[in-house]
Structure 1
Amino acid sequence: MVPIWLLWFLASNWVTGPEPEENDGMGLWVVITAIVVGLYALLWSAVNRPLAHRSSLMPRTYWLLSVLATFLPSTALIIYSP
């Protein structure tokens, strides 16, 4: 959830712009987000590759369901957050 939330946070702040009192810009957030999302993607693919081979699903179906299962909880929380 954290990498997906970081992407949402970065995108929403990029569109709306930083607060007037923030003088450091978004550069640090881009670096932090890239590192966290990169590590998450490596771990996610390392876990799912062996599971995809053992699954009885077609590869395309497995990867689609895997991506949806990853994004669905975070997307729901982002949409329904106050």
Structure 2
Amino acid sequence: MADFEGDLRVPEAPGVVRPRPWALPVVVNLVMGVVVVIPVWSLVLFAVSYRFAALGVTSGSPTENDGMLPWAIVLVLLWTAFLAMWIPANLLSRRRVGASRARYWACATLLVLVPTTVLTCGIAVR
């Protein structure tokens, strides 16, 4: 019994292909990357319309008279909804990988930005 106490894993059958431990986090973050396109583009639009216009880098919309409050409400709701999905999904899939926290979250952040970058570059090239 002493040999069995620490190892409760079932031995694998020969020829069985196990999925890679990083497969689930990669898929989860790429799918979430498609979802984050809307919050990222809304944030960029807000920055161009208000923050950069206040600095004189861009010109604001001449018909804009609502102020920043509606934008702030929409951005907070979008980012809250996205983060409420992204963080728990990554906490669940991080357990399978066994990587350090810093490495996992850095990879997850970069992976979630891939679809936004691809779509932005694709639109810019057109």
Whether TM exceeds 0.5 here: the answer is yes
Which residue number corresponds to residue 46 of structure 1?
88
Cα deviation, residue 57, structure 1: 2.6
C-alpha contact (below 8 Å) 1:10/1:29 kept by paired residues: yes
Partner of 2:9: none
- 2:44 is matched with 8
Residues 52 and 62 in structure 1, CA contact (< 8 A), matched pair in contact too: yes
User: Residues 72 and 81 (structure 1 numbering): CA distance in 2 closer, same or farther, change over 3 Å?
Assistant: same
* Partner residue of 1:22 out of 64, 72, 86: 64
Look up the match of 2:28.
none
Assess if the C-alpha contact under 8 Å between 1:4 and 1:71 holds in 2. Answer: no
Aligned-partner Cα distance in 1 for 2:87–2:116: 18
Structure 2 SS opposite 1:21: coil
> What is the CA–CA distance in structure 2 between the aligned matches of 1:36 and 1:25, rounded to whole Å?
18
Aligned pair count? 82
Scaled by the length of structure 2, the TM-score of the pair is 0.56
1:59 maps onto 2:101 in alignment: yes
- Runs of 4 or more, structure 1, over 2 Å off, are 56-59, 75-82
Structure 1 unaligned blocks of 5 or more:
none
The Cα RMSD (Å) is 1.8
Please say which structure displays the higher CA radius of gyration. 2
Shift of the 9–47 alpha-carbon distance from structure 1 to 2, 3 Å rule, reads same
Moved more, 71-80 or 51-60: 71-80
How far apart in 1 are the matches of 2:45 and 2:118?
Answer: 15
